[in-house]
């Protein structure tokens, strides 16, 4: 596909399908149980694999007794480091920045609790579970180090995938000399574990050296060569199917040990194998959000302008890998700050390795920054919204670039009006409701970068007037099946129901990562371009055909829409696609596409989605129990492809922000290093009864620079801003700021 054209669309336009609040194209399949998730697959001769996890967090396995497991009826094999063949690629080698070091029974070291130490394969799931329970291990145990005061400190080379760990601009000391006051805050955020509804799973089937894998995955184009490398086969021998994911949040963008063990077991036993993680196994080998200890300081002049911003983050990672949440990069482009200094340090915990988790870096960092800004507003004697507007960034102060588009002012206004912010008393503890509950209002700014990935897509128009469009893509529940379908249909100038649409397997052109909130822009841009490429070819045929009403119109702008090609200058002049193909005797036209972001734009502009979130909390004056009662956000993210689904994404993000602020925390036992709350009884997330009135409003934004279609992302935006808004509302209710998240009763007393 070297000659894949990178075209802005000239022959089609977004509009007939895009912009409509279509309901989910995959909705019926999902609610009727027809949607096939990875673990739903049961190929002939299937075996079940269950891994036994280490019960210590650091040390070595000195003895593994597998006799009882092997003797259990139905158990056919137990894999241990002793009998497991080496992979073709060292699983501790990092071949790309996306490659995580994984544990695949290649050594006896234990690096975190729950690390796979043996895999039991059986004829039934029950036998495999029982077999794993019967594995007896002895260890040479070292004390586990979990927590910033216990772990080993180190200086990181990068945060996130490859972002520099330090950044500075302006003269921090010189600005500070002019400051009238400053605020400084230290806040900790906990380990948080990705807990998608669908735990990671794999069904693997080998046919010689060809491999078929059913596995939920956010980045098929990376996973296919990644799996091939581990197993020493050409990438084209791997078929990966991932039509539906029950959530991903970043944890399904990377390959992990347990799923590779399922594939390995299938190769060893020459039968298909299913390995699905149990809920408690999600707390270790499949990444999590780093814990952080952050310090944020703002210096302010006598006119209440921010002069200097300093953010330091101590961030956790594992003992054996280096992924760090980039918390201290969250404020670089947020407020007008002439001097900026941010830096990360690292601390090694005896946990699994962290990774990207919804709004990585920004969620964690903004949770602290938004509190610091509110404290600065308080010091300035200004309303928090007024203070933010007073320090509104008209350019990205980290690099001086203008924003490609920034409708944040409109977001502030829209959300503040909907919330009724003007009635807010400035001092804390002033509002009580009719039940006597202390009521507080707080706000936060949402921001998330707008990256763009080089996705590819294909479209085919057939002579009967039907069409097909496809890209590997991934729907984690965010609505890719629907939004991408809408963009594909607009690309072909047809109704969505008249095209066949396909995503979610590796035979399709690489739709790139569903991550970074860039999937709609990237994969959707590719689909739209592929359709446009078809219609461009169709226009070439029509304008050269003397029997076409479009004959000779080669230099005019032609538009394909509703299955008809016509002159932009006079829509009455045109004809159906089918007529053009029929006369030309052509069965089908195939088009290829990639979305496009102009290189010059990338260098010229700072590209972000923005928003504002307002929160109301009620605090019991006797028990200090905190409840969120209202959350209202307004967001600007360029062109919105499907308002219903965009709001759904933003609402989900805001609820996760609430989860971050009040509920989520992975707790490890200090003595053993084992996770203490590795189930949904102990690992708290908001349930419906916790979720109040949540409203996401969309603000129009025309972004002519971010990419050809002006589409940005909404997947991660909603969590940012919300966390701080809730903490600020708690302060406004009772006048207390807590030193850590989640906000707990004991810290409020």
Determine which helix (DSSP H) or strand (DSSP E) holds 136, and give its type and residue range: strand 136-141
341-360 binders of ligand MOS (CB under 6 A): 356-358, 360
| Nearer to ligand MOS among residue 307 and residue 637 (C-beta) | 637
635-664 binders of ligand MOS (CB under 6 A): none
- From 249, 323, 485, 731, residue interacting with ligand MOS (rule: CB under 6 A): 249
Under the phi-then-psi rule, with left for phi > 0, alpha for psi from -120 to 50, and beta for the rest, what region is 413? alpha
| Nearer to ligand MOS among residue 162 and residue 422 (C-beta) | 162
Confirm or reject binding of residue 516 to ligand MOS (CB under 6 A): yes
- Asked if residue 571 lies in contact with residue 504, where contact means CB atoms within 8 angstroms, the answer is no
Give the nearest distance from C-beta 476 to ligand MOS in angstroms: 8
Rounded-to-integer distance, Cα 160 and Cα 154, Å: 16
Q: At what angle do helices 257-269 and 220-231 cross, to 10 degrees?
A: 50
- From 248, 338, 638, 718, residue interacting with ligand MOS (rule: CB under 6 A): 248
| Nearer to ligand MOS among residue 289 and residue 397 (C-beta) | 289
Confirm or reject binding of residue 718 to ligand MOS (CB under 6 A): no
Rounded-to-integer distance, Cα 146 and Cα 144, Å: 6
For 117, the token pair is: 């130490």
Confirm or reject binding of residue 416 to ligand MOS (CB under 6 A): no
Cα–chain center distance at 622: 39
Rounded-to-integer distance, Cα 434 and Cα 735, Å: 20
- Asked if residue 262 lies in contact with residue 273, where contact means CB atoms within 8 angstroms, the answer is yes
Give the nearest distance from C-beta 250 to ligand MOS in angstroms: 3
Rounded-to-integer distance, Cα 239 and Cα 610, Å: 38
Residue whose token pair is 């408690």: 280
Confirm or reject binding of residue 250 to ligand MOS (CB under 6 A): yes
The CA distances from residue 26 to 245, 458, 476, 481, 494, in Å, are 12, 21, 11, 7, 19
| 603 contact partners, CB below 8 Å, separation of at least 6 | none
Q: Is 716 a catalytic residue?
A: yes
| Nearer to ligand MOS among residue 218 and residue 398 (C-beta) | 218
Size of the site for ligand MOS (CB under 6 A): 11
Give the nearest distance from C-beta 283 to ligand MOS in angstroms: 18
> Do β-strands 467-470 and 499-502 pair in parallel, antiparallel, or remain unpaired?
parallel
Give the nearest distance from C-beta 746 to ligand MOS in angstroms: 31
The CA distances from residue 322 to 292, 697, 719, in Å, are 14, 38, 25
Q: Which stretch binds ligand MOS (CB under 6 A): 243-251, 280-288, 297-305, 659-667?
A: 243-251
Confirm or reject binding of residue 560 to ligand MOS (CB under 6 A): no
Give the nearest distance from C-beta 108 to ligand MOS in angstroms: 32
- From 243, 262, 365, 515, residue interacting with ligand MOS (rule: CB under 6 A): 515
Confirm or reject binding of residue 451 to ligand MOS (CB under 6 A): no
Give the nearest distance from C-beta 641 to ligand MOS in angstroms: 18
Q: Which stretch binds ligand MOS (CB under 6 A): 242-250, 375-383, 432-440, 466-474?
A: 242-250
| Nearer to ligand MOS among residue 248 and residue 491 (C-beta) | 248
Residue nearest to ligand MOS (CB): 250
- Asked if residue 608 lies in contact with residue 449, where contact means CB atoms within 8 angstroms, the answer is yes
Give the nearest distance from C-beta 59 to ligand MOS in angstroms: 31
Catalytic residue of the set 198, 378, 716, 746: 716
Rounded-to-integer distance, Cα 101 and Cα 93, Å: 7
Question: Applying CB under 6 A, which residues contact ligand MOS?
Answer: 218, 248-250, 253, 356-358, 360, 515-516
Instruction: Tell me the catalytic residues.
Output: 716
């Amino acid at each position: 596909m070297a000659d894949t054209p990178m075209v802005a669309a000239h022959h089609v336009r977004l509009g007939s399908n895009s912009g409509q609040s279509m309901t989910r194209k995959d909705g019926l399949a999902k609610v009727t149980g027809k949607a096939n998730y990875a673990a739903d697959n049961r190929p002939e001769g299937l075996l079940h694999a269950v891994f036994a996890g280490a019960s210590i967090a650091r040390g070595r396995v000195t003895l593994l007794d597998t006799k009882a497991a092997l003797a259990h009826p139905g158990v056919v094999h137990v894999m241990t480091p002793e009998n497991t063949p080496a992979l073709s690629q060292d699983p501790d080698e990092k071949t790309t920045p996306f490659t995580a070091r994984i544990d695949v029974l290649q050594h006896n070291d234990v690096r975190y609790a729950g690390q796979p130490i043996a895999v039991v394969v059986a004829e039934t799931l029950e036998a495999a579970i029982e077999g794993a329970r019967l594995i007896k291990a002895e260890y040479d145990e070292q004390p586990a180090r979990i927590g910033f005061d216990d772990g080993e400190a180190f200086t990181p080379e990068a945060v996130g995938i490859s972002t520099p760990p330090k950044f500075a601009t302006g003269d921090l000391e010189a600005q500070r000399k002019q400051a009238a006051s400053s605020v400084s805050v230290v806040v900790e955020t906990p380990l948080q574990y990705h807990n998608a509804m669908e735990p990671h799973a794999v069904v693997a089937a080998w046919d010689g050296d060809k491999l078929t894998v059913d596995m939920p995955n956010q980045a098929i184009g990376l996973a296919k060569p990644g799996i091939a490398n581990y197993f020493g086969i050409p990438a084209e021998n791997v078929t990966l199917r991932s039509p539906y994911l029950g959530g991903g949040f970043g944890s399904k963008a990377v390959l992990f040990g347990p799923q590779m063990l399922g594939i390995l077991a299938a190769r060893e036993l020459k039968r298909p194998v299913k390995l699905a993680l149990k809920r408690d196994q999600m707390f270790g080998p499949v990444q999590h959000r780093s814990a952080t200890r952050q310090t944020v300081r703002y210096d302010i002049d006598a006119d209440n302008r921010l002069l200097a911003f300093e953010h330091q983050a101590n961030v956790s990672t594992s003992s054996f890998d280096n992924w760090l949440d980039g918390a201290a990069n969250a404020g670089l482009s947020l407020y007008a700050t002439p001097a900026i200094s941010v830096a990360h340090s690292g601390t090694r915990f005896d946990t699994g390795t962290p990774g990207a988790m919804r709004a990585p870096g920004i969620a964690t960092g903004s949770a602290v920054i938004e509190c610091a800004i509110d404290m600065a507003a308080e010091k300035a004697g200004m309303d928090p919204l007024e203070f933010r507007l007073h320090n509104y960034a008209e350019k990205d102060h980290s690099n001086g670039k203008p924003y490609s588009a920034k409708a944040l002012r409109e977001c502030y206004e829209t959300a503040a009006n909907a919330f009724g912010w003007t009635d807010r008393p400035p001092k804390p503890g002033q509002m009580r409701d009719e039940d006597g509950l202390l009521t507080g209002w707080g706000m936060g700014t949402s921001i998330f970068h707008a990256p763009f990935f080089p996705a590819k897509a294909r479209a085919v128009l057939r002579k009967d007037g039907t069409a097909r469009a496809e890209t590997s893509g991934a729907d984690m529940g965010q609505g890719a099946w629907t939004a991408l379908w809408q963009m594909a249909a607009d690309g072909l100038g047809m109704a969505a129901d008249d095209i066949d649409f396909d995503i979610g397997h590796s035979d399709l052109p690489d739709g790139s990562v569903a991550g970074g909130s860039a999937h709609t822009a990237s994969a959707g841009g590719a689909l739209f371009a592929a359709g446009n490429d078809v219609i461009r070819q169709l226009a070439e045929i029509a304008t050269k055909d003397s029997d076409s009403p479009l004959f000779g119109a080669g230099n005019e702008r032609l538009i394909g829409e509703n299955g008809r090609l016509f002159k932009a200058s006079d829509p009455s002049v045109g004809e159906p696609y089918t007529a053009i193909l029929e006369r030309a005797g052509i069965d089908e036209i195939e088009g290829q596409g990639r979305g496009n972001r102009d290189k010059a734009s990338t260098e010229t502009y700072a590209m972000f989605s923005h928003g504002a979130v307002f929160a109301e909390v009620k605090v019991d004056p006797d028990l200090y129990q905190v409840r969120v009662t209202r959350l209202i956000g307004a967001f600007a993210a360029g062109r919105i492809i499907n308002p219903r689904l965009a709001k759904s994404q933003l609402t989900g993000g805001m609820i996760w922000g609430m989860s971050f602020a009040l509920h989520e925390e992975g707790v490890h036992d200090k003595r053993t290093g084992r996770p203490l709350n590795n189930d949904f009884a102990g690992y708290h997330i908001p349930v419906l009864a916790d979720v109040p009135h949540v409203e996401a409003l969309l603000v129009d934004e025309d972004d002519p620079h971010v990419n050809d279609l002006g589409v940005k992302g909404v997947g991660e935006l909603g969590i940012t801003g919300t966390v701080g808004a809730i903490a600020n509302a708690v302060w406004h209710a009772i006048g207390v700021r807590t030193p850590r998240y989640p906000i707990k009763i004991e810290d409020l007393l």
